[in-house]
Amino acid sequence: MLGFAPIVPTDRPFRLLAIGSHSDDIEFGCGGTILRFVEELESLEVQWVVLSGDDERSDEARASAGAFLGGVAHEVLLGGFRDGFFPHDPNVKEFYETLKAGAAPDLVLVHTRSDLHQDHRVACELAWNTFRDHAILEYEIAKYDGDLGSPNVFVPLEERHVQRKAELLVEHFGSQLDKHWFTKDLFLSLARLRGMEARSPTGYAEAFTGRKVRVDAFRIA
């Protein structure tokens, strides 16, 4: 298995765009990777986009983004679209057009296309339609549908990253604690499974699908 180091700009911050349909999606799908970005990149700017949510869930999204990103420069954008109805709302597409008008991201993190939740699929499809010349990695979310696939990109994580991710999810999303799947052990188990598949030195990883990757330079790890 080859490891590729991302190309990090030297003259400006690395620009990360993270998109989630719901207020805990980014954290669940790629929270550990984001914690690693925050820890390792000298200069980072983040747009944290949550497409749906009432007042309570929007407040949770803002607080959670701040906790995951710490002192990193970031902007939280809330779409406020109706949960479960993205395929029927043309305004979601208009919202993506406003994102495209902003600073060009070096990396977009979004749901995977094979996700069975209709909002998640639309979020992914519009990301590909909107950011055609950008690097996109699709994150996964375990849920009742049993739609986890076979990802092909892995980000090894330290145990502290996955522990912190699980702690912050439980701390900041009280509205979800009654869900049978919203538990620390689930977050940790998926990271352990993907860590095994990636042969991560620490035993933990998050997994993504990279559907189109252009390699301009690489370093074999």
Give per-residue pLDDT as tens, 180-192: 999 999 999 999 9
Sign of CA dihedral 22, 181, 188, 136: negative
Helix, strand, or coil (residue 212): coil
Specify if 22 maps to a domain: yes
What is the pLDDT, as a whole number, of residue 11?
86
Helix, strand, or coil (residue 110): strand
What is the pLDDT, as a whole number, of residue 10?
80
22-60: per-residue pLDDT in tens? Answer: 999 999 999 999 999 999 999 999 999 999 999 999 999
pLDDT band of 4, cuts 50, 70, 90: low
64-99: per-residue pLDDT in tens? Answer: 999 999 999 999 999 999 999 999 999 999 999 999
Specify if 80 maps to a domain: yes
What is the tally of structural domains in the chain? 1
More confident residue, 200 or 4: 200
What is the pLDDT, as a whole number, of residue 110?
98
Which domain range does residue 96 map to?
Answer: 14-209
What is the pLDDT, as a whole number, of residue 214?
75
Put simply, whether the predicted model's pTM sits higher than 0.85 gets the answer yes
Look up residue 18 and give its two tokens. Answer: 């993270």
Specify if 7 maps to a domain: no
Specify if 221 maps to a domain: no
Look up residue 184 and give its two tokens. Answer: 């620390």
Specify if 159 maps to a domain: yes
CATH code for the domain of 184: 3.40.50.10320
Q: Which of 22-31, 188-197, 205-214 is predicted least confidently?
A: 205-214
Helix, strand, or coil (residue 184): helix
211 pLDDT above the threshold of 90: yes
Which residues are within 8 A (CB) of 144 and not within 5 positions of it... i.e. 6 or more apart? Answer: 181
Specify if 26 maps to a domain: yes
What is the pLDDT, as a whole number, of residue 219?
60
Strand order in the sheet with 107-111: 73-81, 44-52, 14-20, 107-111, 136-139, 204-209, 153-157
Q: How do strand 136-139 and strand 14-20 relate by DSSP bridges? A: unpaired
Look up residue 48 and give its two tokens. Answer: 């944290």
Look up residue 89 and give its two tokens. Answer: 């709302």
Find where tokens 């710490």 sit. Answer: 70
Specify if 197 maps to a domain: yes
Helix, strand, or coil (residue 168): helix
Yes or no: say if 61 and 31 are a contact pair by the CB < 8 Å rule: no
140-172: per-residue pLDDT in tens? Answer: 999 999 999 999 999 999 999 999 999 999 999
Residue 138 to residues 14, 21, 167, 171, 215, Cα–Cα distance (Å): 18, 13, 23, 25, 18
Specify if 5 maps to a domain: no
Rounded to an integer, the average pLDDT of 193-215 is: 94
What's the distance, Cα to Cα, between the start and end of the chain in Å?
A: 9
Look up residue 206 and give its two tokens. Answer: 């998050």
pLDDT band of 212, cuts 50, 70, 90: confident
Q: Is 80 left (phi over 0), alpha (psi -120 to 50) or beta?
A: left
114-148: per-residue pLDDT in tens? Answer: 999 999 999 999 999 999 999 999 999 999 999 99
Look up residue 141 and give its two tokens. Answer: 């979310």
Sign of CA dihedral 23, 24, 27, 30: negative
More confident residue, 29 or 9: 29
